[in-house]
Amino acid sequence: YAMAAQAYLHRFGGTRVDLAEVAVLAREWALLNPKAFRHEAGALTVDDVTGSTMISSPLAAGDCCLVTDGGGAVVLTTRERARDLPRPAVRVLGYGEATSHASMVACDDILDTGAAQSAARAYARAGLTPADIDVVQVYDSFTITVLLSLEALGLAAPGEAADLVRSTDVRPGGRLPLNTTGGGLSYCHTGRYGMFALLESVYQLRGKAGARQVPDLNVSIAHGPGRQFAAAGTVIMGNTL
């Protein structure tokens, strides 16, 4: 991940500040989530992140996800059965998965991941485009993961994800809320954070997310890369059956 981050900053002329803004954003959402591991830690600054212990340049401790306990589960059923359930159900509109390479040494471009393919398949199955997405949940194993994922999902042009993260668009009250739990950087990380991206999509679409609830939303996207960007999965959900 550090190699990918280094390549990304070099290619697009970014700095460690661009990465740190991802962690700052995550903390902002975590402060609205009483279950977040860092809920009581208070606001985070760019200097806090860039000044934390260097792990593997350019990633410092503040760029790395938490290590916590936790768990989650989802139940899948038919649309007909879901209509009879006591709680509002969420519909899987589309999904996609992809594997682009076997290992880092086997890829031609470390920034060319399978995520764009998984996202394209999910959009195609859902009959939607990035413009239809109301809320985004992406696996933030490291700050660089978020920037690459936003671009692969078509929510930012190549090299422009950092600008999106710095904007008010992805923050509380913005047009495209991002990682509304606080993510793996400030909420929790049990080793398989993708489950929590799915769960938060469900909570948001049900209108059950408490203080972090996004108003008037219809479509959520959950996305997770894995195996050093070699594999990816994307799920698009909606709140209408």
> Which residues are annotated as catalytic?
139, 187
Output the 3-class SS for 35-103: CCCCHHHCCCCHHHHHCCCEEECCEEHHHECCCCCCCCCCCCCCHHHHCCCCCCCCEEEEEEEEECCCC
Query: What SS3 state is found at 237?
Result: strand
Is 236 within 8 Å of 128 (Cβ atoms)? yes
- 115-126 and 143-152 helices, crossing angle to 10°: 50
- Pairing outcome for strands 59-60 and 219-226: unpaired
In eight-state DSSP terms, residue 214 is P
